Every structure is written in structure tokens, then in C-alpha cells.
């Protein structure tokens, strides 16, 4: 699970880098570089009883199910945040253990 969380964190960091690079039209300024560094430094996770909360600075990016006995979700499912302390329990946005999920640096993607 720790490796899968680290992969998720790196995927979020890479998406932010790619977004910044596209906005800068391929030429990163010192401000862009500092913004990327600040974003990377602020990205972390906190492990709770049922969920792993992924944080970007002071905001919640999303949640990852961290139990095997959830009635609706599987361990590793990515959930959007409903608030700072609770996930949206409508549907998973992917699974970090299965891979192949689609996310953005702003949070898990909406359902299609």
C-alpha cells in the first residue's frame, strides 16, 4: 500500500509539473520552478482508521480507502473529498492498487 500511495503522490506531482509547463509554454521561469517546489513540498498524506487523506498544502486532494472491510469500496479505491474530513462515497475514481487510474493535480477526476 505504501508503494501505491507513493506512486499516486508522484503522479500528482508530475501532473502539476506538466500543467505548469504547458501554462509556461515550455519555458519555466524561476517563479514557476518555485511554485513547483512549493507544491511538491506541500503534498503529503495522513493515515486514518478507514482512509488515507491526501493533502496539497492546506487542502484535501482526495481520500484512499485503507480497509478491507468497507461495505461499498475496495482497499485502494480513490475517492473525491466531500469535505476536509470525509470522502464522497458515491463512486470510486480508480484504485491505486490496480493502477490505470485517471487523476489531476487538482483532485480525482469526476465521474463520466
pLDDT mean over 2-9: 95
Q: What is the pLDDT of residue 112?
A: 56
Average pLDDT, the chain: 95
* Calpha distance 89→31 (Å, rounded): 38
Q: What is the pTM of this model?
A: 0.93
Burial of 41 (0-12, 13-18, 19+ CB in 10 A): exposed
Q: What is the pLDDT of residue 111?
A: 72
Q: What is the pLDDT of residue 93?
A: 95
Task: Look up residue 73 and give its three cell numbers.
Answer: 469500496
Q: Which tens digits make up the pLDDT trace of 59-111?
A: 999 999 999 999 999 999 999 999 999 999 999 999 999 988 999 999 998 87
Amino acid at each position: 500500500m505504501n508503494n501505491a500511495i507513493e506512486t499516486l503522490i508522484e503522479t500528482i506531482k508530475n501532473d502539476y509539473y506538466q500543467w505548469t509547463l504547458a501554462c509556461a509554454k515550455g519555458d519555466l521561469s524561476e517563479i514557476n520552478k518555485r511554485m513547483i517546489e512549493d507544491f511538491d513540498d506541500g503534498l503529503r498524506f495522513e493515515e486514518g482508521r478507514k482512509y488515507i487523506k491526501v493533502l496539497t498544502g492546506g487542502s484535501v486532494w482526495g481520500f484512499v480507502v485503507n480497509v478491507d472491510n468497507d461495505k461499498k469500496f475496495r482497499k485502494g479505491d480513490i475517492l473525491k473529498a466531500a469535505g476536509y474530513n470525509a470522502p464522497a462515497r458515491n463512486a470510486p475514481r480508480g484504485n491505486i492498487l490496480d493502477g490505470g487510474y485517471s487523476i489531476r493535480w487538482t483532485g480525482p477526476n469526476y465521474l463520466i
